[in-house]
């Protein structure tokens, strides 16, 4: 709930501290700006201009919820949680704050919060349909709609660990909000991820050079800890899971739905597909 994390939130206009008002129906800043809390429990923290980028649609969020609930990405969620738990242990914080940027449905953050006693979660996403899910994902999670490119509505040095799983990154902001001991755990899809689906369905593959771009972006802001870790495992998908996987991915915006339904119907009952990503850890430079 927002109550649990309001002490780390900041006014997106001037970064002054926020507090709950009128029984947490609004958050107000020291400088007098007011942000309504939606009845579903999330708050939109955007500067006056509003949000410029479009996040995942309601259909994409529903597809993501369905796919992840089937446990296909369990090795991803377990490894991310372990790395965050290690980072938080080093921080010695009693109620460590874990931030997930581009948190989607909250699947990863909720799992991490369950595993780390006393931890508190901030889930940020630009998508309002995602924020509605996020707000319900865990009792110790506060959901915020914000644009990571615009900046994070968080106080300086307020976050013990942050995660980004297949979502956009703003390394300068990550360095600003992390504590001195804090760590960023970033999962990036690797070339070959779900490749077996690409040709039969005519969907987008993972573009090359993602890792190199991430390292370039972080230069001067974040310093890598250790080497990137390869996470690779097979998953067995039926046609419904394949439809959900495509529905939650950027391909959902690029493929004609009728053509996609036809291509999926032509697939075998089950397919074995490779999940492949690299996990990187960083601290403030
Ligand atoms: C591929 S999804 C990953 C969601 C979640 N991390 C997961 O793996 O289930 C990317 C997420 O980033 C969000 N997103 C896209 N652009 C964003 C931005 N500029 N600021 C914040 N979130 C953004 C999308 O709405 C979406 O929920």
* 155-196 confidence digits (pLDDT tens): 999 999 999 999 999 999 999 999 999 999 999 999 999 999
Q: Indicate whether 271 pLDDT > 80.
A: yes
- Pocket lining: 12 vs ligand 1, CB cutoff 6 Å: no
Ligand 1 contact, 56 CB (< 6 A): yes
Which residue is closest in CA terms to ligand 1's atom 25?
55
What local confidence, expressed as pLDDT, does residue 5 receive? 97
Range in 37-51, 135-149, 238-252 with the lowest mean pLDDT: 37-51
pLDDT score at 47:
82
Locate the ligand 1 atom nearest the alpha carbon of residue 149 and give its number.
Answer: 19
Q: Is the CB of 129 under 6 A from ligand 1?
A: no
Instruction: Kindly state if the Cβ of 64 falls inside 6 Å of ligand 1.
Output: yes
Q: Which residue has the tokens 């865990």?
A: 138
Please give the backbone phi and psi of residue 31, each rounded to the nearest 5 degrees, phi first: -95, 5
Q: Report which protein residue has its CA nearest ligand 1's atom 1.
A: 166
> Cα separations (Å) of 126 from 42, 45, 60?
12, 10, 13
Strand positions, DSSP E, 31-177: 34-36, 43-44, 97-101, 120-125, 141-145, 159-165
Which of the four pLDDT bands, split at 50, 70 and 90, describes residue 253?
A: confident
Separation of alpha carbons 17 and 6, rounded Å: 9
Report the candidate in 103, 24, 94 with the shortest Cα–Cα distance to residue 64: 103
Q: Does residue 148 line the site of ligand 1, with CB under 6 A?
A: yes
Mean pLDDT of the chain: 94
Residue with the bigger pLDDT between 252 and 186: it is 186
Rounded CA-CA distance 224/183 in Å is 10
Q: Choose the residue to mutate in 79, 98, 102, 184 for probing ligand 1, maximizing ligand atoms within 8 Å of C-beta.
A: 102
Strands 97-101 and 159-165, by their bridges, are parallel
Smallest CA separation from ligand 1 atom 10, residue: 167
Distance from Cα 199 to the centre of ligand 1, integer Å: 25
Residue 38 burial (CB count, 10 A)? 15
The pLDDT, as a whole number, for residue 276 is 97
State in Å: Cα 181 to ligand 1 middle.
26
Inter-CA distances, 237 with 18, 96, 245, 246, 270, Å: 45, 36, 9, 12, 5
The answer for residues whose C-beta is within 8 angstroms of residue 227's C-beta and 6 or more apart is none
166 lines ligand 1 (CB under 6 A): yes
198 pLDDT exceeds 70?
Answer: yes
Query: With a 6 A CB cut-off, is 53 part of the ligand 1 pocket?
Result: yes
CA angle 212, 63, 234 (to 5 degrees): 55
For residue 126, give the DSSP letter: S
CA–chain centroid gap for 148, Å, is: 11
Q: Are 266 and 243 in contact (CB under 8 A)?
A: no
| Residue 173 in contact with ligand 1 by CB distance below 6 A | no
Residue-wise pLDDT for 19-68, tens only, equals 999 999 999 999 999 999 999 999 999 886 666 677 999 999 999 999 99
Rounded percentage of the chain residues whose pLDDT exceeds 70: 98
Ligand 1 contact via 145 beta carbon (within 6 Å)? no
For residues 247-260, give the mean pLDDT. Answer: 85
Is the separation of the CB atoms in 233 and 72 below 8 Å?
no
Q: Give CA–CA dist 9/255, Å, rounded.
A: 38
Using pLDDT thresholds of 50, 70 and 90, give the confidence band for residue 210. confident
- Cα end-to-end span (Å), the chain: 32
In angstroms, rounded to a whole number, what is the distance separating the alpha carbons of residues 35 and 20?
10
Q: What CA–CA distances, in Å, run from 97 to 6, 148, 178, 203, 217? A: 11, 18, 10, 37, 24
Q: H or E stretch including 6? A: none
């Amino acid at each position: 709930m927002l109550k649990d994390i309001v002490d780390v939130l900041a006014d997106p206009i001037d970064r002054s501290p926020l507090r709950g008002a009128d029984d947490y129906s609004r958050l107000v800043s020291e400088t007098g700006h007011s942000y309504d809390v939606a009845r579903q429990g999330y708050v939109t923290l955007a500067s006056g201009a509003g949000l410029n980028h479009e996040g995942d649609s309601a259909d994409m969020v529903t597809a993501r919820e369905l796919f992840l609930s089937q446990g296909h990405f369990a090795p991803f969620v377990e490894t991310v949680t372990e790395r965050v738990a290690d980072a938080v242990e080093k921080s010695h914080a009693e109620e460590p704050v874990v931030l997930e940027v581009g948190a989607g449905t909250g699947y990863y953050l909720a799992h991490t919060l369950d595993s780390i006693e006393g931890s508190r979660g901030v889930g940020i996403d630009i998508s309002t349909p995602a924020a509605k899910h996020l707000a319900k994902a865990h009792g110790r999670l506060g959901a915020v709609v914000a644009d990571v490119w615009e900046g994070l509505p968080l106080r300086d040095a307020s976050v013990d660990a942050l995660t980004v799983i297949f979502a956009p990154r703003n390394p300068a902001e990550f360095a600003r909000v992390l504590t001195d001991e804090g760590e960023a755990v970033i999962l990036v899809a690797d070339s070959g991820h779900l490749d077996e689906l690409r040709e039969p369905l005519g969907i987008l593959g993972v573009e090359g050079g993602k890792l190199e771009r991430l390292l370039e972006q972080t230069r001067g802001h974040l310093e890598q800890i250790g080497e990137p870790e390869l996470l690779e495992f097979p998953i067995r998908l039926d046609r419904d899971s394949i439809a959900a996987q495509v529905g939650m991915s950027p391909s959902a915006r690029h493929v004609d739905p009728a053509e996609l339904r036809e291509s999926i119907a032509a697939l075998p009952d089950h397919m074995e597909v490779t999940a492949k990503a690299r996990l990187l850890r960083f601290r403030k430079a």
